[in-house]
Amino acid sequence: MIDLRSDTITRPTQKMREAMFQAEVGDDVYGEDPTINKLEMLAAKMLGKEAALFVTSGTQGNQIAVLTHCRQGDEIILDEDSHIVFYEGGAISAFAGVQPRTIKTEGGFMDPLKLKEAIRANDIHFPDTSLICLENTHNRGGGVAIPPSHMAELYHVAKEHNIPIHLDGARLFNSAVALGEPLTAFTQYTTTVQVCLSKGLGAPVGSILAGSKEFIDKARKWRKRLGGGLRQAGVLGAAGIIALNEMVERLAEDHQNAKKLATGLNKHPLLSVVNHVDTNIVLIDISETGMHSSQFIDKLKSQDILAVPFGPTTVRFTTHYDLNMEQIEQAIDRILSLKF
Ligand SMILES: *Cc1c(COP(=O)(O)O)cnc(C)c1O
């Protein structure tokens, strides 16, 4: 089976498993897990923030960020196609009780003017705009790597109005590698950031939320309230440390494989790649086949290839370290031979 559904399906490397086995642990709710403390310090340093918090998932990291930044009845501005709006089960409303003010973006690029217009004036009728959320890479945009220069423009608008920016950087490492920029080139334009250790970097569990020390102290309490205070979490943190230290640079291979896949699939007369393929995501339009994406996915499955539907006639493929170039070539050959 060639599994191109997501970069979350990767299994921990041998080195990660050994580090997990050997991990020094303690009770992290008491702040006594040396491995988690090391991971949080390393992550904070890499992200250019004062402090960091290990959380169970990207979704939990984003939700803790919203809970910590906002109060019930506040409004938060975000892309209508953002993961937080699209894929987190309405959690911002269920937990934080905030109202989303969504903006349509150009494949993840938010127009600074539209952002400015969406920020509420001080008026008794209006909710308070208390947060702006950005996403990089942009998932539904097709893994778009948003350059720091664009984030700077949005940051200046936010700063003018004294509104914090939270970056959903589940795949920020992919942007950094694709654009050849350090992580801090992006995070300097954010107040807080969430990054996933369990996507392209291959750790089995966990994300990092980073920000000021004061913010992370409050976030730690929200994590506890949500039941995310883990005990001997260093068993997981050990894999996270390897993810940060050793798995970032190799993302370039996933990007090359995605480009290879895109070039190959474009040769099929009825398939067309619709995204720019900056990183490890390839989106194809299948409307010419006359199929719905779910039927197309079934047809791929019969050829031992897995992908995910991304719309009625859009299908997403994601490359990751558990797939090598030969497997990508096999996938291309099998898909090119499909008849519709
Ligand atoms: C995957 C993803 C998340 C959520 O991460 P989980 O660990 O699956 O909860 C958040 N934002 C983006 C952009 C993602 O791609």
State which of 246, 270, 303 marks the end of a domain. 246
Residue 1 resides in a domain: no
Nearest CA, atom 3, ligand 1: 58
Six token digits for residue 172: 């920020």
Residues 110 and 258 occupy one common structural domain: no
The tens digit of pLDDT for each residue in 293-336 reads 999 999 999 999 999 999 999 999 999 999 999 999 999 999 99
Nearest Cα to 98, choosing from 122, 115, 74? 74
In a domain, 155, yes or no: yes
Note whether residue 284 is domain-resident: yes
Nearest CA to ligand 1 atom 2: 170
Distance 58 CA to ligand 1 centre (A): 5
Task: Give the pLDDT score at 168.
Answer: 98
The letter for the amino acid at 245 is N
Using alpha carbons, select from 168, 175, 205, 140 the residue that is nearest to residue 69.
168
Question: Is 57 close to ligand 1, i.e. is its CB under 6 Å away?
Answer: yes
Is residue 192 a contact partner of residue 51, using CB atoms and an 8 Å limit?
no
Q: Given pLDDT bands bounded at 50, 70 and 90, which one contains residue 153?
A: very high
Tell me the per-residue pLDDT of 241-264, one tens digit each, with 9 for 90 and over: 999 999 999 999 999 999 999 999
Q: Looking at the structure, do residues 61 and 101 belong to the same domain, yes or no?
A: yes
Domain boundary among 246, 279, 296: 246
Residue 146 has φ and ψ, to the nearest 5°, of -85, 120
CA gap 270, 287 in Å, rounded: 8
CATH number for the domain including 39?
Answer: 3.40.640.10
Instruction: Answer yes or no: is 219 within a domain.
Output: yes
Here the tokens at position 193 are 């950031």
pLDDT at 318: 98
- Do 205 and 85 share a structural domain? yes
Average pLDDT, the chain: 97
Ligand 1 centroid distance, CA of 123 (Å): 35
Q: Measured in angstroms, how far is the CA atom of residue 52 from the centroid of ligand 1?
A: 18
User: Does residue 75 contact residue 128 with C-beta atoms inside 8 Å?
Assistant: yes
Do 225 and 267 share a domain, yes or no?
A: no
Three-state secondary structure call for residue 56:
coil
Task: Tell me, in angstroms, the distance from the centre of ligand 1 to residue 124's CA.
Answer: 35
Are the CB atoms for 141 and 85 separated by under 8 Å? no
Q: Is 59 in the pocket of ligand 1 (CB under 6 A)?
A: yes
For the record, the structure tokens of 211 come out as 């920000």
Q: How many helices (H) and strands (E) are present in the chain, helices listed first?
A: 14, 13
Answer yes or no: is the C-beta of 83 below 6 A from any ligand 1 atom.
yes
Residue that finishes a domain, picked among 179, 212, 246: 246
Dist CA 145 CA 289 (whole Å): 29
- pLDDT for 5-25, tens place per residue? 999 999 999 999 999 999 999
Ligand 1 atom closest to residue 198's alpha carbon, by position in its atom list: 7
The answer to whether the CB of 10 is under 6 A from ligand 1 is no
Instruction: Kindly state whether residues 219 and 272 are assigned to the same domain.
Output: no
pLDDT (0 to 100) of residue 340: 87
Specify whether 69 is located in the same domain as 187.
yes
* pLDDT at residue 24, as a whole number: 98
Q: Output the six-digit token pair for 247.
A: 């798995």
Residue ranges making up the domain that contains 79? 7-246
Rounded to the nearest angstrom, the distance between the alpha carbon of 61 and the centre of ligand 1 is 9
Q: Number of structural domains, the chain?
A: 2
What is the pTM assigned to this prediction? 0.97
